[in-house]
């Protein structure tokens, strides 16, 4: 991990010891925030998966409209165009693989253009997954040389205005999706290596400044063909690996700190294989999608705690994958929580905080460049008791569960040092099982020291906004 990340982690994630899971211990957590001490700058880390594509169930493309609204409200900076956004699949853009790859008439860009436009309209940038959809399936492309020609023209369309295209300067181009999963790849590791080589070379031929990466593995803890051996292949053949991408869902643990743990493990492997400058990209993640006992508020707190931890860990970019609303996993609470995290961009100068931990009670704070606005984001998430014991059967694809105990997480008692004496308007917004980013308190306080207290039982997210009057 870089030194800057380590120093930030020491401030953002100051541990206060393990906690008791007993519900009766609901004392408030003592928090201190010092707006006079800066610890760094907020880096872009607000990312999501693209909204589902237009199609038979969405003929008007309303998913793109809804996606743009979320991207704006949450101040998203990166959107991964994954498998769900099928309009940008190579076999959707080039529907007849028997057609002439050099002819503009062979390409059907309109749906993908609308998808990319919906992302850029919100001020975000796309991460373009170069892969196949349902039509192409999980089999390797039959003609890899032709596939590479098609990919080159797709990049030219978006970055060099080919075929009535654009000069979007899309940076991130990801080769395929989860070749370590039989759901997405029916070829051999060697076939994927060849696909990666030809695709990467085609992308760079179209735009030398493009960032090429992959393989978007679904089992980042498994060594072998799609991790170390893939890195060796890339290094020996002098191919680009500008970012190494991976996916992870906190299945059978719902532990928000796992992403940092895995990212540190992968960072060490990348560095050991000569990829010290390769970005570490977690571009599909969430809590356990199948856990029906996890409320929308709990999913919201899980997401925000995870994001705050990632700020202090070696995750260079992330795109959160919201499970479908029909599964009960994504509601307004999750959208609002992502918006609360995105609101930190209004206070990009990170300031010292003490009192958070790595067990779910996460705290981060920032101030505006003119020091007139301070924002404190508190996420109080508690892992369910059923996950706080060892598994009966060891699963090598999952990290070990942690033996945590929770204490002092029934609320907060915050002491805030503001830059100057004077009057400050304080507003507190909360997302919980009973509120969705509601304004729960408003007061005028006097600096240079402000003390705020509140009950905040898990799961909950609180955004405190302090503005000089």
In 3D space, the residue among 236, 211, 103, 120 whose CA is nearest the CA of residue 168 turns out to be 120
Cite the beta strand spans of 65-131 per DSSP E: 78-81, 125-130
Q: How far apart are alpha carbons 419 and 35 in whole angstroms?
A: 6
Per-residue pLDDT 10s for the chain (469 aa) are: 333 333 344 334 333 333 333 333 479 999 999 999 999 999 999 999 997 654 434 444 455 666 888 899 999 999 999 877 788 999 999 999 999 999 999 999 999 999 999 999 999 999 999 999 877 889 999 999 999 999 999 999 999 999 999 999 999 999 999 999 999 999 999 999 999 999 999 999 999 999 999 999 999 999 999 999 999 999 999 999 999 999 999 999 999 999 999 999 999 999 999 999 999 999 999 999 999 999 999 999 999 999 999 999 999 999 999 865 433 334 589 999 999 999 999 999 999 999 999 999 999 999 999 999 999 999 999 999 999 999 887 778 899 999 999 999 999 999 999 999 999 999 999 999 999 999 999 999 999 999 999 999 999 999 999 999 9
Q: Please work out, in degrees rounded to the nearest 5, the angle formed at the alpha carbon of residue 110 by the alpha carbons of 106 and 114.
A: 150
Task: Report how far Cα 428 is from the mean position of its chain's Cα atoms.
Answer: 25
In 3D space, the residue among 210, 306, 291, 209 whose CA is nearest the CA of residue 256 turns out to be 306
In 3D space, the residue among 235, 304, 237, 313 whose CA is nearest the CA of residue 281 turns out to be 313
- The answer to whether 317 and 45 are in contact (CB under 8 A) is yes
Q: How far apart are alpha carbons 426 and 445 in whole angstroms?
A: 7
- Tell me the CATH architecture of domain 47-345: Alpha-Beta Barrel (3.20)
Reduce the DSSP state of residue 206 to 3 states and report it. helix
What residues does CATH 2.60.40.1180 cover in the chain?
3-42+347-468
Reduce the DSSP state of residue 49 to 3 states and report it. strand
In 3D space, the residue among 250, 320, 367 whose CA is nearest the CA of residue 76 turns out to be 320
What residues does CATH 3.20.20.80 cover in the chain?
47-345
Q: 3-42+347-468 — its CATH code? A: 2.60.40.1180
């Amino acid at each position: 991990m870089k030194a800057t990340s380590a120093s930030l982690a020491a401030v953002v994630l100051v541990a206060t010891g393990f906690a008791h899971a007993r519900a009766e211990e609901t004392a408030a957590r003592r928090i201190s925030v010092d707006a006079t001490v800066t610890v760094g700058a907020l880096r872009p880390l607000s990312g999501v998966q693209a909204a589902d594509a237009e199609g038979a169930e969405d003929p008007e493309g309303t998913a793109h409209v809804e996606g743009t609204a979320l991207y704006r409200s949450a101040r998203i900076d990166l959107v991964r165009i994954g498998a769900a956004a099928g309009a940008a699949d190579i076999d959707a853009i080039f529907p007849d693989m028997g057609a002439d790859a050099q002819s503009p008439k062979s390409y059907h860009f309109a749906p993908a253009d609308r998808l990319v436009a919906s992302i850029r309209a919100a001020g975000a940038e796309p991460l373009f997954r170069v892969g196949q959809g349902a039509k192409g399936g999980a089999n390797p492309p039959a003609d890899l040389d032709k596939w590479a020609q098609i990919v080159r023209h797709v990049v030219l369309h978006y970055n060099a205005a080919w075929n009535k295209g654009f000069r979007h300067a899309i940076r991130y181009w990801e080769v395929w999706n989860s070749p370590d999963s039989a759901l997405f790849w029916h070829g051999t590791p060697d076939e994927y290596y060849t696909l990666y080589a030809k695709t990467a070379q085609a992308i760079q031929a179209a735009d030398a400044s493009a960032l090429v990466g992959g393989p978007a593995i679904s089992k980042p803890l498994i060594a072998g063909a799609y991790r170390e051996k893939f890195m060796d292949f890339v290094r020996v053949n002098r191919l680009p690996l500008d970012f190494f991408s991976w996916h992870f869902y906190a299945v059978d643990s719902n532990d928000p700190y796992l992403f940092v743990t895995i990212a540190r493990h992968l960072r060490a492997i990348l560095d050991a294989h000569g990829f010290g400058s390769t970005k570490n990209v977690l571009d599909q993640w969430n809590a356990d999608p199948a856990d029906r006992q996890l409320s929308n508020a709990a999913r919201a707190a899980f997401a925000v705690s995870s994001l705050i931890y990632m700020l202090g860990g070696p995750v260079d970019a992330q795109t959160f994958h919201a499970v479908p609303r029909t599964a009960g996993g994504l509601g307004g609470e999750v959208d609002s929580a992502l918006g609360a995290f995105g609101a930190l961009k209004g206070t990009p100068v990170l300031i010292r905080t003490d009192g958070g931990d790595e067990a779910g009670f996460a705290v981060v704070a920032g101030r505006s460049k003119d020091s007139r606005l301070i924002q404190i984001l508190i996420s109080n998430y508690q892992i369910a008791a059923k996950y706080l014991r060892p598994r009966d059967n060891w699963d090598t694809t999952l990290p070990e569960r942690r033996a945590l105990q929770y204490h002092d997480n029934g609320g907060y008692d915050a002491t805030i040092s503001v830059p100057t004496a004077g009057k400050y308007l304080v507003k507190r917004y909360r997302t919980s099982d009973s509120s969705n980013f509601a304004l729960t308190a408003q007061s005028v306080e006097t600096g240079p020291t402000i003390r705020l207290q509140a009950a905040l039982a898990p799961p909950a997210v609180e955004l405190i906004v302090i503005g000089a009057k």
